[in-house]
Amino acid sequence: MAATVQIHEMTAAGAGVDKTSGTLRFKSADDQTVDSSNRIQIPGAGSVYSYTKHIRFYFSTGPSVDIQNLRCYSDGGNGLGTGVGLQYDIPGGGLGTFPNIATNIAGTDIFTKTAGNPPTSVDMDAINTGPHTSTGYKGDHVRMQMSVSSAATQGLTPSETITCAYDET
């Protein structure tokens, strides 16, 4: 039987919210609510940063054999608009719980990671490696953060898609 796999947005307490086929909203508040409150303001100079968002795989039903090669990637093009970026890192070895912060994580541009296998995609089981055979949280946390520079224009930022993938046997 195939596994039931979800993508969870994680909190510092380690509790996740199912965001499979859902939306992460980057903003100036540390919450998982998808709304227009707490918008990121365009600074007069320099850059400002959203609170970080963490995603991780959650297996609510385990695989028949195993799941390996957890990864995520973008379409390779930043459609967020001038002066807006999205960076990622794998904090603290990818395991445990981590606070959401609004200071620069100095990560890697997520739009440099495209379809395929690592290193062209983000390796989500580099530390917490597979094969994964049971239920629960698996793989590494991916922490993401939006940056907004003074060059950004006002208005709603277009949406972007981050794809999460795995190999199941």
Pick the residue with more confidence: 28 or 100? 28
Whole-structure pTM value: 0.92
What's the confidence (pLDDT) of residue 93?
67
Q: Which tokens sit at 144?
A: 């993401």
> In the prediction, which pLDDT does 15 show?
77
Give the whole-angstrom CA distance, residue 50 versus residue 41: 10
Distance of CA 141 to the CA centre of its chain: 8
Average pLDDT, the chain: 91
Looking at per-residue confidence, does 3 or 86 come out higher? 86
Domain holding 86: CATH number? 2.60.40
Mapped to the 3 state alphabet, what secondary structure does 79-141 carry?
Answer: CCCCCEEEEEECHHHHCCCCCCCCCCCCCEEHHHCCCCCCCCCEECCCCCCCCECCCEEEEEE
Range of the domain at 104: 4-168
Residue with the larger pLDDT of the pair 98 and 20 = 20
Segment 76-128, tens digit of pLDDT: 999 999 999 999 999 876 666 678 899 999 999 999 999 988 899 999 988 88
Domain count, the chain: 1
User: How high is the pLDDT of residue 14?
Assistant: 72
CA-CA distance, 19 to 162, in Å (whole number)?
Answer: 12
